[in-house]
Structure 1
Amino acid sequence: MSEDRIRFLLSKYIHRQCDSQEEAELFSLFRQLSDEQKDELLANTWTEFESSQELPEEEAEQILDAILTRKSRFPLKYISIAASVLIGVSIGAYFLLHSHKQLSADNDKIALADIRPGENKAELTMGNGKKIILGTGSQKITIPNTDVVIQENANGSLTYNKEAITDNEQIIYDTLRTPKGGVYQLNLGDGTKIWLNTASAIRFPEKPGHRSRDVELLYGEAYFEVQHRTDAPFTVKTAAGVIRDLGTHFNVNTGNGHVAATLLEGAIQIERNNSIKRIKPGQQALFNSEKLSVHEVDAEEMIAWKDGYFMFDESLESAMQKISLWYDVKVEYQDEGIKGIPVLATITRYSNISNVLSILEMTKKVRFKIDGRTVKVFYFNQNTTNK
C-alpha cells in the first residue's frame, strides 16, 4: 500500500476533485492504516491544506469545534472547508487538528452496515402513458407520429429537442419523478434547465409554447435556471400558488405544508389569491393557501443539495429527514429529546451513510446504529448494544 497514493487521493478529495471510484479507493486504503499512520497523515494534510487556505490555526480549531455544536456561526465557506477535510477521514474517527481515538471503534461499527448514497435515477411518464426508467445510461427516445426527440445522457440528464409547438397542436405533458435516493436533471426544449431533488415530481410540456410555458411541481423540490422570454412567461405551478419567472435562477421546495421559493438571481413574483408579491435575490417567499411571508436567507444553503452537499443549520430531526430521503432509510429515536439537538455542518451527499453519521457523532451528543435500512439514534453516552 502506498501512502503517496493515499495522500494524492486525500488531496483530491479535500478539493472535491475525486470521482466515485477514487473516493471508494481512498476510504478502503485509509482503513488499512495504523493509528500512528493516520495521525501523521492527517496532521500533515491539515497543515498543507490550512496553509493553502490561509486559515489561522486558532480559528480552524474553533470552526472544527463549532461545525456541529453551533457554538457560533462561521461563514459557510470556512465550515465547508473544515467539513470537507473531516469527511476525508472516512470513518470519522479523527479531527485533523486533534485525534479523537475514543470514537474509532463505534464508527467502525457504523461502517459495517453501510448504505450507499443516492444517484441519478428517475421515471419518465410520457403523455401517451408510456413509462421509461432513467438512470445513468445513454439512449434516444422518440415519440411515434411526432417530431419530439428526447435524449437521455450518461451524466444523468434528459434533454428535449428545441421544436416549439405549432398553433394548431395540443399541448402534451410529460411527468418526471425521482424516487427516494434519486435525483435528475431536465433540459427543456426552450433552454430552461431543471434539477429535481430526491422524492420529487414535475409535470411539463413536451414542446415549449409560443405564448406561455407552464410547469407544475407536483411535490418535492426543484431548482430552475430559466431561459427568460418576455413574449412567453415561464411559470411554476404549485398547490399553494404560482411562481412567475422574470429572468431567474430559483429553488422551489413544497415540503412541510408550505411552498418555499428562494431566489438566487434575477426576479420572481408569487401569485396567489389574486395577490402578487415580488422578491429579490437572497430572499425566500414562504407561502401556503392562507398566508405569505418574505425573509432573507442564505441562498447557498438552500441549493446545497443541487451541488451535492448536505448543508445543515437546523435540528437533528430536520437533518435526519433529509438523510432518510437521500439514503432511503427509516429513522428511529431512542428519545424524543434527541430530535431537537442543533446541527451545523456541510457534508458531501455522495459518500456512504456511515461517513455522514460518523461526522454527526463528533458532536458527542448523538450516536447511531444501522439495522438493515433503519438508522437508530441514541444519546451519545447511551449503550447501543442489542438495541
Structure 2
Amino acid sequence: MEHKNQNIHSIYSKFLDNRLPAKEISELLQKMEHLSDGELEQMVAEFMDERESHPVPGEEESLDRILLSIRNLRLSEPSNHKISFKIYRRWIAAAVVLLVPALVFFVFSQKAKNAGHIEIAAGSVDIAPGRDRATLKLANGTEVYLDTLHAGQDKIKQYGASISKQGNGELVYMKLGDTETAVVEYNTISTPRGGRYKVLLPDSTQVWLNASSSITYPTSFAHAGARLIKLEGEAYFAVKKVSDGKGKSQPFIVSTDRQKVTVLGTHFNVNAYADESSVRTTLLEGRVQVNSDAILRPGQQAISFSKTLEVRDVDTTAFVDWKNNEFNLKTSDFRTTMRKIARWYDVEIIYDQSAPSTVKLGGWISRDKNISSVLKLIQKTGGVHFKLEGRRVTVTK
C-alpha cells in the first residue's frame, strides 16, 4: 500500500504542530480514498502501534485545531463533499482522539455518500411505493377492482353476504339472511405487484394481503366443518375463534402448496411465494399446527423446504415488517430482499455478471418511501450499485 512508504509518525507530528500544508492533507485524503476497506483498517492498526511507541506531547490539546483544519479544508470544496463538523467532533472524541482514524472515518463517509447516489437513466423517474389495491373475483367470474369502489356506498351482494369497502379501505363481509340455508360460493381476492389489501372475512377473521398475493375463501363458513382458505403469496391472519354451533371450535385452515396450517384463534404470518425456496409460517400469538409434523408456540417459525420441515425460534417482528409497512433489511439475504422490493415497487431486477450474490445488509426503512430511498440505503454498504431505467433495476458490483 502506498501509505506504507510514508512515515505516519512524522505526518501526525507535523499535523499536530500545524506544519502539514493543506495540499498534503488533501493529497493524503485522495490516496486514502483509493484504499480498500481492509487497507484502511490496517492503516488504523499501524497508526495505533506507532502512536503507542512514539507518544506525541500535547495531542489532546491539539484536537480542536485538527478538527478546525479539516473543517476549513472541506469547506473550500464543493458543497456535495462537505461533512458536518459536529459529526467529526462526536466520532473522533469516541475514537480516542486520533488523527488517522478521523481521516479514515472521513474516507468511509465519502464512500458512503458516493455510494448513496442512485443512477436514474434519462427519461426515467423515481418509482413511488405500492398502495391499497386488489381485485375481487366473484364465484360467477365477475371481477371487481376494489380501489374503484366508493367506501360505504357501493355494495356487492351474494348469497348470504353483502360486501362493501370501509373508509379505511378494508373489504368487509356482512351476513345477509339465513346463512344456514345460503348457497356457499367461493371468491378470490388478489393483489398485484405494487399492491396490498386488508379483508374482513365472513367469520370476522382479519387478513392482510401483501403484494402479488391471493386468497380463495367461501362466502359463508356455516356449513363447513373447518374454515378453509387457500393462499398464494403472503398474508397475515388474525383469526377469530368461532364455534361450529355444536359447542366445538371450528378450525381455521390455511392451505399453501407446501403447508397446511391449522388454528383455532391466533395471529400468524404465512409466506408462500412461488419464487421463494421455502414456505414460512411465523406464529405471533396462540397456537398452530403445521401439516401433521409440528405445533408452534409464539416466537417460532415453521419452514418447509422441498422435502423437509424445520422449526426455529425467530424474532417475529422481522417477518411481519411488511404488515407494519416497513422493510427489515437485517434478516433477509440480499436476493430475497431484492425480490421483496421487486414485488412492492413492481419492478424487474436484472443482475449484471459483476453483481454480488450476497451483500451484508442492516436497518429498517419505511415502505412509504420511493424506491430510490430504499436502494440508496442498500447501496451505502459499498458492495453493490443500482441503475434505475423505467421499471427495471440493474444490479452491479
TM-score with structure 2 length normalisation? 0.66
Equivalent residue number for residue 290 of structure 1: 307
Q: Provide, for residues 123-166 of structure 1, a one-character-per-residue CA deviation record: whole Å limited to 9, x for no partner.
A: 0001122110012752432326x342111124332011145863
> Once the 2 structures are TM-superposed, how far is the Cα of residue 173 of structure 1 from its aligned partner?
1.0
Range with greater deviation from structure 2 (249-258 or 116-125): 249-258
Q: Provide, for residues 261-300 of structure 1, a one-character-per-residue CA deviation record: whole Å limited to 9, x for no partner.
A: 11000100112xxx34211111011125733211111110
Separation of aligned partners in 2, 1:124 and 1:214: 19
Equivalent residue number for residue 141 of structure 1: 155
Equivalent residue number for residue 27 of structure 1: none
Counterpart of 1:117, as a letter, is P
Indicate which of 249, 262, 267 corresponds to 2:287. 267
Indicate which of 267, 270, 282 corresponds to 1:249. 267
Q: For the structure 1 residues 234 and 374, does the alpha-carbon distance in structure 2 shift closer, same or farther, using more than 3 Å as the test?
A: same
Q: For the structure 1 residues 131 and 244, does the alpha-carbon distance in structure 2 shift closer, same or farther, using more than 3 Å as the test?
A: same
Instruction: Confirm or deny: 8 A CA contact 1:198 1:325 kept in the other structure.
Output: yes
> Once the 2 structures are TM-superposed, how far is the Cα of residue 342 of structure 1 from its aligned partner?
2.1
Equivalent residue number for residue 190 of structure 1: 203
Separation of aligned partners in 2, 1:331 and 1:194: 29
1:192-341 matches, cutoff 5 A: 192-209=205-222, 212-229=225-242, 230-255=248-273, 256-271=276-291, 275-287=292-304, 290-312=307-329, 313-335=331-353, 338-341=356-359
Instruction: Confirm or deny: 8 A CA contact 1:270 1:278 kept in the other structure.
Output: yes
Q: For the structure 1 residues 213 and 350, does the alpha-carbon distance in structure 2 shift closer, same or farther, using more than 3 Å as the test?
A: farther
Range with greater deviation from structure 2 (342-351 or 288-297): 288-297
Q: For the structure 1 residues 360 and 228, does the alpha-carbon distance in structure 2 shift closer, same or farther, using more than 3 Å as the test?
A: same
Q: For the structure 1 residues 319 and 374, does the alpha-carbon distance in structure 2 shift closer, same or farther, using more than 3 Å as the test?
A: same
Percent identity of equivalent pairs: 36
Equivalent residue number for residue 77 of structure 1: none
Equivalent residue number for residue 125 of structure 1: 137
Q: Provide, for residues 296-332 of structure 1, a one-character-per-residue CA deviation record: whole Å limited to 9, x for no partner.
A: 1111001000010111223321111110111111111
> Once the 2 structures are TM-superposed, how far is the Cα of residue 249 of structure 1 from its aligned partner?
0.2
Return the index of the structure with the highest Cα Rg: 2
More strand by percentage: 1
Instruction: Confirm or deny: 8 A CA contact 2:360 2:381 kept in the other structure.
Output: no
Indicate which of 116, 122, 127 corresponds to 2:128. 116
Separation of aligned partners in 2, 1:340 and 1:376: 15
Instruction: Confirm or deny: 8 A CA contact 1:241 1:289 kept in the other structure.
Output: no
Counterpart of 1:179, as a letter, is P
Q: For the structure 1 residues 361 and 259, does the alpha-carbon distance in structure 2 shift closer, same or farther, using more than 3 Å as the test?
A: closer
> Once the 2 structures are TM-superposed, how far is the Cα of residue 336 of structure 1 from its aligned partner?
5.6
**Alignment RMSD, CA only?**
3.2
Question: Does residue 113 of structure 2 align to residue 103 of structure 1?
Answer: yes
Instruction: Confirm or deny: 8 A CA contact 2:241 2:249 kept in the other structure.
Output: no
| Structure 2 gap ranges (5+) | 1-77, 96-104, 243-247
Instruction: Confirm or deny: 8 A CA contact 1:209 1:232 kept in the other structure.
Output: no
Counterpart of 1:141, as a letter, is K
